[in-house]
């Protein structure tokens, strides 16, 4: 499950990414998804919450979207950060590939990996990170 990205590639992602759709973002401050998204915001990234159970609500000052295809400015999303179980990843990857024209990175959080979905995204030219956390990896590059 460990990802084989080089530190140079992680650094490039940290420096070049601007807008991150956070799939599975919880409005609860004690959840890992919330603390990671809050960190990303504080580091200057725009986050777009994606969680069907909270669509239309504000999370960290941003309107939560039903799914990736509902994101209004979908052409601005550089990265999708996935806080969902591995079995949910294929559908998320398919939706991301179909609805996010500027997507460059799919990031799966610690404990999340899906080989077939990762291969499909890589075949489409997307950089894929599995089983890592940008809150842990990004600070040394920002």
The domains located in the chain, with CATH, are 7-141 (3.40.50.720)
Mean pLDDT of the chain: 95
Q: Are 51 and 64 in contact (CB under 8 A)?
A: yes
Contact by Cβ (8 Å): 3, 115: no
Q: What is the pTM of this model?
A: 0.95
**79 pairs with which residues across the strands?**
20, 105
Q: Look at residue 5 in the predicted model and tell me its pLDDT.
A: 59
Candidate from 5-9, 35-39, 42-46, 124-128 with smallest mean pLDDT:
5-9
- pLDDT confidence of residue 2: 40
Is 43 within 8 Å of 15 (Cβ atoms)?
Answer: no
32 with 47: CB under 8 angstroms? no
Contacts made by residues 64-70, CB under 8 angstroms, sequence distance 24+:
64/25, 64/27, 65/21, 67/95, 68/21, 68/23, 68/92, 68/95, 68/96, 68/99, 68/100, 69/95, 69/98, 69/99
Which band of pLDDT confidence, cut at 50, 70 and 90, is reported for residue 105?
very high
- 6: pLDDT confidence band, cut at 50, 70 and 90? confident
Cβ–Cβ under 8 Å, residues 17 and 45: yes
């Amino acid at each position: 499950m460990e990802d084989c990205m080089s530190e140079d590639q992680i650094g490039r992602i940290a420096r070049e990414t601007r807008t991150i759709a956070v799939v599975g973002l919880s409005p609860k401050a004690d959840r890992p998804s919330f603390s990671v998204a809050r960190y990303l915001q504080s580091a200057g990234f725009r986050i777009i919450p994606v969680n069907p159970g909270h669509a239309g609500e504000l999370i960290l000052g941003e309107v939560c979207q039903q799914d990736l295809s509902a994101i209004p400015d979908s052409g601005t999303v550089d990265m999708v950060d996935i806080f969902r179980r591995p079995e949910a990843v294929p559908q998320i990857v398919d939706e991301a590939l179909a609805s996010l024209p500027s997507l460059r990175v799919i990031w799966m959080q610690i404990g999340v990996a899906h080989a077939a979905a990762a291969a499909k995204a890589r075949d489409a030219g997307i950089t894929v990170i599995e089983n890592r956390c940008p809150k842990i990896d990004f600070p040394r590059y920002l």
